[in-house]
Amino acid sequence: MKSIPSNSFISPTTTLCSAAATETQRNNALQSVKNLFKRASLVRKDRKTNLKLCAKTIVQERIIKYTQESQASRSRCMLELQPPGYVSQAFGPPVKLLGSGTDGYVNLHVDPAGVKFAIKSFFCPKKRFTSLNECYEALDSEIRMSVMFNHPNIVRVYRMIYEANGYIYIVMEYCDQDLFSLISNLDSSPAERIELANYMFYQLVQAVSYLHNNAFVVHRDIKLDNICVTKDHTLKLVDFGCSVSYDPLRPFGRYGLTGSDPYIAPEIFLLANSIYDPRCTDVWAIGIVYLAMLSSRFPWEIAKVSDKNFNLFLSQKHKLLQYWVQHDPVARSLISDILSVDPSKRPNISAIKSHPFFINLHSRYSNTNDP
C-alpha cells in the first residue's frame, strides 16, 4: 500500500495503536486528539438556524436541550484513512446510481467476488470546509448514527472510509429496492397488499422501537424512500442524516421544520417556533407510511388546514379512517391513535407494541423476523 505523507491527515485511532507508526506520526496523532477536544470546547452556544436539504427532506432546526460532547471527534475516530482510489479497488467501480441528495450520493458497487454493496459518498472540498474537523461536524449525524446500530431492520454499515482526495464513504449492505418503488410497482390482490403492508408495518415499528428505546435516537425522516426492502421482504430503515440522539433522563425537544411534506406531523406547523417532541413525529410518520402502503397514495399533500384533504380529515377523521383502513377495525383503532393531531394523545412506540393489532402481528411474524 502506498505510504501516507507525514503531513497528511493522521487518524488518532489508527496511528496511536500502530506499532509501525513513526514518532512524528504519533505526535501528529496526539495533536489531532488535542485539537478535536479544543475545538469541541469552543463550539458557539448560539448557532444560527441551519437550513439543510436531505434529498427532498426539509431540515430547519435548533437544538433545545441535549447535545453530546465531542461528537465530531467520535465521528473522526470511526473513519479509516485510505489512499485515493481505494474504495473502487476494494469494492469495484460504481455500477449504478441508487440515490442522491445535497450532501452526497449512493452508488451500487460490486466487489471482485461479486458481492453487492451500497456505498454512500460525501465530498469535503476545501472551498466548503476549512478543516477536516468542520467536515466531520457537518456530516456528524450521518457518520455517527450509521455505525452505532445493531438491528435486523436497520441497514448494516460495514466500513467507513476517508480517502485522502477528500471523499468519505459509508459502505453498507445492499437492498434490492426501496419501499416507495415496491409499492408503486406492486401488482397484487387487495389481500396480498394488506399482508405486505402489515408485515412492513410490523418491521418498521420494531426498527423505530429499537431507535427510541435502545439507541435513544430519533430518525426524523421516516418515509417510503428511506425504507429499503431485501429480496425476502426484510425491511431496512436507512438514511440517518437528519437523526438526533437524546438523553432519556433529560428534557428533549426541537424547534423547526424537518421531514418530507406528506409525512410531517401537524404540530411542526401548528406550533411554529414552539418546542415539539420528535419522537411523536416519528410515530406520526409510521401511520402515514401504513396508509400509503394500503392505497399507493398519500392521504394529503401536507398536514396543514390549507390542504383540503387534511382539513377534511380534521372534521371527518372517523369516516375517512373507515374508508382507508377497511380490512380490520383493530388496525383502524391503532392508526386512529397514531394519527392523533394532538401529539400528547399519540401513543409512543412502546404503547404501539402493546396494542392488540401489533400483538397479533407479532404472533404471526416474530419467527420470521425476530428482533
63 in a structural domain = no
Q: Name which of 117-131, 319-333, 348-362 the model is least confident about.
A: 117-131
Same domain, 141 and 191: no
Same domain, 168 and 279: no
From 173, 194, 217, the end of a domain falls on 173
Residue 53 has pLDDT above 50, yes or no: no
According to DSSP, the residues that pair with 50 across neighbouring strands are 61
Same domain, 361 and 232: yes
- The answer to whether 221 is a known catalytic residue is yes
Same domain, 325 and 289: yes
What is the predicted pLDDT for the residue at 24?
A: 55
Same domain, 85 and 165: yes
Quickly list DSSP for 223-248. Answer: -GGGEEE-TT--EEE---TT-EE--T
What is the predicted pLDDT for the residue at 137?
A: 63
Same domain, 213 and 334: yes
Same domain, 101 and 140: yes
- Cα–Cα distance measured from residue 149 to residue 313, given in angstroms and rounded to the nearest whole number: 36
2 in a structural domain = no
Q: Between 24 and 179, whose confidence is greater? A: 179
Residue closest to 64 by CA, chosen among 51, 46, 52, 42 = 46
Number of folded domains that form the chain: 2
Q: Are strands 157-163 and 80-82 parallel, antiparallel or unpaired?
A: parallel
Same domain, 145 and 267: no
- Cα–Cα distance measured from residue 234 to residue 182, given in angstroms and rounded to the nearest whole number: 12
What is the predicted pLDDT for the residue at 240?
A: 87
**Domain range for 22:** 12-48+68-173
Q: Between 57 and 189, whose confidence is greater? A: 189
Helix (H, G, I), strand (E, B) or coil at 259: strand
- State the CATH number of the domain containing residue 130: 3.30.200.20
Catalytic entry in 178, 221, 225, 239: 221
- Percent of the chain whose pLDDT exceeds 90: 54
Q: List, for residues 72-101, the tens digit of each pLDDT value.
A: 444 455 678 899 999 999 999 999 999 886
- Percent of the chain whose pLDDT exceeds 70: 71
From 173, 203, 235, the end of a domain falls on 173
Same domain, 152 and 195: no
Q: Return the DSSP state at 125.
A: -
Element (H, E) at 34: helix 23-41
What is the predicted pLDDT for the residue at 82?
A: 93
- State the CATH number of the domain containing residue 232: 1.10.510.10
61 in a structural domain = no
234 in a structural domain = yes
What is the predicted pLDDT for the residue at 288?
A: 98
- Cα–Cα distance measured from residue 232 to residue 26, given in angstroms and rounded to the nearest whole number: 47
* Mean of all residue pLDDT scores within the chain: 79
What is the predicted pLDDT for the residue at 182?
A: 92
5 in a structural domain = no
| Cell numbers linked to 266 | 401537524
What is the predicted pLDDT for the residue at 174?
A: 96
Q: List, for residues 178-211, the tens digit of each pLDDT value.
A: 999 999 888 889 999 999 999 999 999 999 999 9
Answer yes or no: are the C-beta atoms of 203 and 235 closer than 8 Å. Answer: yes
